Chains A and B, each alone.
Chain A
Amino acid sequence: MSLITQTAARTILPAIVLAGAAALVMLLGQPFHERVAYVFFTNLIIVLGLQVFMGNSNVANLGHIAFAGIAGYAVAILYTPVALKAALIPGAPFGLDNVALGLVPAILVALAITLLVALLSGLALSRLTGVAATIGTMALLVIVHVVLVNWVELTRGPRAFYGVPVIFTLPWAVGAAVIAVYIAKLFRESQDGIQLRATGDNLLAAKAMGVDVERVRLKAWILGAFLCGTGGILFTLFNGTIAPNSFYFSQTFLTIAMLILGGMRSVSGAITGSIVVAVGFEVFRSLENGPVILGIDLPEAFGLTGFFLGAVIVLSLTFRPMGLMGNDEWEDVWPALRARLAGRREGRP
């Protein structure tokens, strides 16, 4: 079986889980639950983008949200109707206030801009290792943020960019997320992915074996940026309102927490972490509002969700430093468990 069909087969389980969860929400949930689910899927796509680079290369990345921001703003500026742009960004540079593209061209151009920035930044960042690389990625985030905040004529600066047409609904997000899972899995199992994971495990050994570290890192960086950009576009064309703060530290840390919790080494880790945090957030959010449970009127306790996120990270780092999934994909869990049990039966440790 070729890698492409093999990966497609390995994507079936997560696709069923994700689509099933979305179907449950649409059938049983209230309208606001659909919004919660949609935001979950955009976050998942961003976390997958983060996993592609950070998980495989083992280089901590704090800059991925920059690509969501670039793509989100690009699509907002390109796709918002001209009549509204006359009020929002009159006299925008490059005559952009007089131009509005169709949906598909706007998305394609936004992704192209994102990929260009990814290529340019990646050329520099792929040469860095360790702390320098991490600081470099964070610098990218800060640079993009500062540009978004200060290029007032184009982005409205710190003020919200609103009135972006709301296009996407939950099924679109599910479709995009399943494709993103497939892409992330395909990269992980590809030759580049395996080489990149080798550089993450032991950089010198990988180099000695002839791995072109910069080239595989650059590929992963660009692919990750593509996924993060997609997430940013999906968010923008759903929320209708964006601001530079939508794509900054709080979003960065939330998505990194999801990835670390689930386990950044595997694609399933990214999915697991996203699900646990999103479900946990929603459960704790309903608890903090002081509901009546089994006749007991619970007190309002705002801040529980923040507490939950902190607790879950501390616990997972303490008891499962590699994340919930460790090195495994979902489909590896059962065979690995069986092998371990078989080993125990035979008296092996």
Chain B
Amino acid sequence: MKKTDKTREGFAGLATVFVAVVAALSAPAVAQENIVIGYGAAVTGPLAPYDSPDGVRCQVERVNEAGGILGRQIELVIRDMRSDSALSGTVALELLDLGAVALLGPPTDDTIIPMAMQAAPRGVATLSVGGTQPAFPVAAPDNGYLIPYGDNASAAAAAEFAYENGARTAVLLVSHDVGSYSLMTPEYFAQAFERLGGEVLGRVNYNSGLSDYTPQITEIRNMDTMPDIIFGGMIVPEAGVFPRQLAAAGLNIPVYGTDGHDDPGVLEIAGDAAKLVKFTTHGFPSEGSALAEFYSDCEARGYTVQNIFFGLGGESILVLKAAIEAAGSTNPPAINAALKEIENLPGVTTDSITYKDMGGIPLKRMTMIEVVDGAFSPAKLVLPEFVPAP
């Protein structure tokens, strides 16, 4: 008898929760006067390290404290899209129904294109917080934007920097393993490097995540002429393993890359050989920079800064703020149109962001990093003169 009662109680409780959930789903969650910004974020899943809900949250907090946008507060609504392509489109629709005037989204093209597809009929701008793949704005030319630079621009910046430092020949490391990053970035580099007058001696295939790159190093060693530099779209661990083994083989050839190298793991893994590494990244928290100020302010607010995507998250809100203020309204198509006109906007990771005539891939001043005394150190700020077509 007692058991039955308990079961019944259990069922009643379950039913209450269910009704409440349904009620919560249908309740209007948003006050009228706030500006709603939706963020379909990769909070969980394999893309989580490349997305930054906390960076976005922190900047929203800061902007709201400073009076918001057009005198209205920002209301950030985050939904976890679990790094899943189909769920990504679903949460986009959900966020749009909650009144989002602009969408922020995950870093890969297959996860953010479905978001932009849902947003397009309503003219809502969709911005990838951490994505550097130019393919996304190309696929969504009306309302798709990157917050970071495109891989085409960062590779071009690396090419300019290498050429300035006397490099005339290069070998490309190419891999299919890390999406278009490891596949296309070297090709963008080649275009920019050859345009400057450099020569690509060859392309060497590799796999990401290995602990032994002897075959690749041997292939380079057996070339008729040694290249001045090596370029690859590498990530940790090979971003550290490869230079270490290269140096151990007696080949002290500088290894160039882009933000995949921007990880303290490179220094630990490569050891002394880290001095061979030079790369383009979004920004560097030098003392007195906007990025350093943003990091320290957010840390004081209790956030943990994980990586550069935190800064890019902060930047995304500044871009939207500029667009909404330029539009003078929260009408989504007006915001989308204003975004396309942004020029030389000071951001968090950089002092200059331009969307005008860039087809959704912003031109930003980038930071070239080299390793000095076992630590990353900014070498130069570069705004490339030539950017290869995406």
Contact = CB atoms under 8 A, between A and B. Distances in A.
A299 interface: no
Contacts of A162: 109-110, 113, 139
B85 A246 contact: yes
A243 B78 contact: no
B109 A30 contact: no
Q: On chain B, which size bracket covers the interface?
A: 35 or more
A36 interface: yes
Contacts of B18: 283
A242 interface: yes
B152 interface: no
A159 B114 contact: no
Contacts of B23: 293
B282 interface: no
Given A293-B21, A294-B20, A160 B44 contact: no
Contacts of B117: 166, 240-241
Interface in B303-337: none
A243 B91 contact: no
A246 B27 CA distance: 33
Interface string A281-297: 00101111101111000
Given A162-B113, A239-B89, A291 B43 contact: no
A241 B21 contact: no
Interface string A303-328: 10110000000000000000000000
Interface in B78-100: 78-80, 82-87, 89-91, 93-94, 97
A243 B176 CA distance: 13
A32 B93 contact: yes
B94 A242 contact: no
B108 interface: yes
Contact of B135 (A159, A287, A292): A159
A11 to B, nearest CB: 27
A238 to B, nearest CB: 8
A243 B44 contact: no
B27 A292 contact: yes
Nearest to A291: B24
A159 B133 contact: yes
A286 to B, nearest CB: 6
Interface stretch (A150-158, A178-186, A209-217): A150-158
A273 B305 CA distance: 40
Interface string B110-124: 100110010000000
A163 interface: yes
B307 to A, nearest CB: 18
Interface string B126-143: 000000010100110000
Contacts of A287: 21
Contact of B176 (A152, A160, A239): A152
B183 A152 contact: yes
B21 A283 contact: yes
A157 B20 contact: no
A76 to B, nearest CB: 12
A31 interface: yes
A285 B180 contact: no
Contacts of A87: 138
A92 interface: no
B139 A285 contact: no
A291 B21 contact: yes
Question: Which of B53, B178, B180 gathers most chain A CB within 10 Å?
Answer: B180
A286 B21 contact: yes
Interface string A222-263: 000000000000010011111101100010000000000000
Interface string B285-319: 00000000000000000000000000000000000
A39 B86 contact: yes
Interface string B1-33: 000000000000000111011011111010000
B179 interface: yes
A72 B91 CA distance: 23
Interface string B223-256: 0000000000000000000000000000000000
Contacts of A300: 78
Contacts of B29: 291-292
A162 B180 CA distance: 14
Contacts of A303: 43-44, 80
A241 B43 contact: no
A285 B79 CA distance: 9
B85 A241 contact: yes
A40 B210 CA distance: 37
B113 A285 contact: no
B60 to A, nearest CB: 14
B94 A292 contact: no
A302 B80 contact: yes
A32 B43 contact: no
Contact of B110 (A163, A242, A250): A242
Contacts of A293: 17, 20-21, 23-24
Nearest to B138: A87
27 contacts: A30-B26, A31-B93, A32-B94, A39-B86, A87-B138, A149-B176, A157-B180, A157-B183, A158-B177, A235-B86, A238-B86, A239-B85, A242-B85, A245-B110, A246-B85, A250-B46, A286-B25, A289-B79, A291-B29, A292-B29, A300-B78, A302-B43, A302-B80, A303-B44, A303-B80, A305-B80, A305-B82
Name the 10 nearest CB pairs between A and B, nearest first.
A243-B110, A160-B110, A291-B24, A32-B93, A302-B43, A158-B179, A32-B94, A293-B20, A35-B90, A160-B109
Interface of B: 16-18, 20-21, 23-27, 29, 43-46, 53, 78-80, 82-87, 89-91, 93-94, 97, 108-110, 113-114, 117, 133, 135, 138-139, 176-180, 183-184
Given A87-B138, A159-B183, 11 more contacts: A32-B90, A149-B177, A157-B176, A158-B179, A159-B133, A160-B108, A243-B110, A246-B110, A302-B44, A302-B78, A305-B82
